Amino acid sequence: MYAGRAEVREGYSPCGEGRETTIPDDGERFLLCRSGMGINADSRPLRRKTDLKKGKKRMKKIVSYLALSALLLFLLVWGVVAGTDWYVLSRWDAKDSSVIVIEDLLGKRADPASGEGGEWESEFVKLRILYRSGPRTGSREDVEIMQLADSRLTLLPGKEYLLLADMFEDGTVQFSVSDRYRVPAVVGFITFACGILVIIAGRSGFKALVGLFLSLLFLIGWFVPRIALGHPPVPFAILAVAAVSVATCFFVVRKRELRPIPVFGAVGGAAGASLTGWVMVSLWQLTGLESDSAALLASTSPDLSLRGLLLAAVMVGSIGAVLDVAVSVTSSMGELYEYDPSIPRRRLWKAGISVGRDVLGSMINTLILAYLGSSLPFVVLIATEGADFIGLLNDPHIAQEVLRSVAGTVGLLLTIPVTAAAGVWWISGRRRNSSVPDDGLAD
């Protein structure tokens, strides 16, 4: 029947005792079973062809999903940008500013009143503009604006800018361009980033966005107005940390029985960061007036505690890193308990501490480098002035950033044992109250 000689090997197979036969001409392997039911053939090349077809189908589904998602995302971003632009321009009621489009640059001339070669040398630039907001929407006009000769804001035809009109007592009007009009672009990029997250992460990405939206809504809509009204910053910051932790864990932590654990850990870590910051503020005698915005706030709201505001800023700034550590520790302990519901409490505690140590290194880098990045212009300014190392450490601005970094690091350190202890206590209590000791955790 076959041109070549078949190679037969005796042995056992999944269908019982049988022989594996190889046909040299086509290289196919057949499993011949002694089951009395004839010949059962298990063709490996056929299985490979089937797997290849399944892989191609799966790849086609992925490509179709990505193409459709990209198209929908493009339409969504375009609609959001257009809608935001219409909404902002339709409600633009500022009398001294307008959104304009620069159609052409008509020329420049020096300002004779500013002199030449000075640090604040100014010039006049003649523009042809199209109004996009206000009562003159749609009309064109040639205006002459005043700007610094070395202005970093480059005026480009076809781009949208904010035009300011300052009227003096003698009736003359001085025009100037203050900044780019970028509101629709900013909203569009935020929408694009959120869409990419949902496309890649799916349901988990959508839940993370909902948790982030609720957290920002609580912080901006409840926490900040309370601080502005003069309430003590630190207690309200602790409440804010708890609320953000609840919102985040509700949507991020998959096992609902474990959701209270990272909340306990995050609140404990944030409270530890606040306590550490309070000790450092007291010992270093920091006033909270180290930044220009804080000094301006002190002049407008003299009753506001700037020291408390500094500590509240430390707590709010460390929420993200603290929650990352708390959720990681909780997830590892939950997986161990689900795998072995009878795991000893000591082993569960050690597992949580071990995972927390592994995550701690990267989280500390994230926290400290974030603070360094936020103050990088000031650090470069000090470096260009040639300040020595001792003077650098004694500078109040640097001391404030060191305070945030050290207090945040201590908060991360305390988050690990607090979360591990809360996890052991919570899981042990659930195990005692459960009628079935090995039922695992529900999603």
Least confident of 89-103, 114-128, 171-185, 409-423: 114-128
Nearest to 331 by CA among 241, 252, 417: 252
Structure token digits, residue 312: 């509240």
- With pLDDT > 90 as the criterion, what percentage of the chain qualifies? 18
First vs last Cα of the chain: how many Å apart?
58
User: Which tens digits make up the pLDDT trace of 335-353?
Assistant: 888 888 888 888 889 988 9
Give the mean model confidence (pLDDT) for residues 417-425.
91
- Other C-beta atoms lying within 10 Å of the C-beta of residue 330: 29
- Other C-beta atoms lying within 10 Å of the C-beta of residue 160: 19
pLDDT at 161: 94
- With pLDDT > 70 as the criterion, what percentage of the chain qualifies? 83
User: What are residue 108's DSSP bridge partners?
Assistant: 125
Q: How far apart are CA 209 and CA 187, in angstroms?
A: 15
Has residue 253 got a pLDDT over 70?
yes
Structure token digits, residue 160: 């949208």
Has residue 295 got a pLDDT over 70?
yes
Place of tokens 């059962």: 40
**Highest mean pLDDT out of 85-94, 118-127, 314-323, 354-363:** 85-94
Has residue 289 got a pLDDT over 60?
yes
Structure token digits, residue 108: 């420049």
What CATH number is given for 202-433 in this structure?
1.20.1640
pLDDT at 429: 81
Q: What is the pTM of this model?
A: 0.71
Least confident of 268-282, 361-375, 406-420: 361-375
Its sign, for the CA torsion 371, 315, 331, 417, is: positive
Alpha-helix runs per DSSP H in 306-344: 306-317, 319-339
Any idea where the domains of the chain sit in the sequence? 7-42, 97-184, 202-433
Nearest to 44 by CA among 36, 56, 33, 52: 52
8 Å CB contact between 419 and 359: no
What pLDDT band is residue 162 in, cutting at 50, 70 and 90? Answer: very high
- Other C-beta atoms lying within 10 Å of the C-beta of residue 350: 12
Q: How far apart are CA 369 and CA 180, in angstroms?
A: 29
What is the average pLDDT score of the chain? 80
CATH of 97-184 among 2.40.50, 2.60.40, 1.20.120, 3.40.50: 2.40.50
User: Which tens digits make up the pLDDT trace of 11-67?
Assistant: 444 444 444 444 444 444 444 444 444 444 445 565 666 777 777 788 888 888 889
pLDDT at 259: 87
pLDDT at 114: 67
Structure token digits, residue 115: 């002199």
Sheet bearing 29-33, strands edge to edge? 7-13, 16-22, 29-33
Least confident of 270-274, 284-288, 324-328: 284-288
Structure token digits, residue 272: 């530890």
Alpha-helix runs per DSSP H in 91-222: 183-201, 203-218
Alpha carbons within 13 angstroms on the beta-carbon side of residue 236 total 20
Least confident of 4-18, 90-104, 136-150: 4-18
Give the mean model confidence (pLDDT) for residues 374-402.
75
What pLDDT band is residue 250 in, cutting at 50, 70 and 90? Answer: confident
Has residue 301 got a pLDDT over 80?
no
- Pick 48 or 437 by higher pLDDT: 48
Which conformational region is residue 395 in: left (phi greater than 0), alpha (psi within -120 to 50 degrees), or beta? beta
Structure token digits, residue 324: 């990352």
pLDDT at 157: 92
pLDDT at 26: 45
User: What are residue 143's DSSP bridge partners?
Assistant: 127
pLDDT at 11: 44
8 Å CB contact between 323 and 251: no
What pLDDT band is residue 118 in, cutting at 50, 70 and 90? Answer: low
Nearest to 31 by CA among 23, 5, 3, 1: 23
pLDDT at 7: 45
Has residue 372 got a pLDDT over 80?
no
Q: How far apart are CA 210 and CA 122, in angstroms?
A: 48
Has residue 369 got a pLDDT over 60?
yes
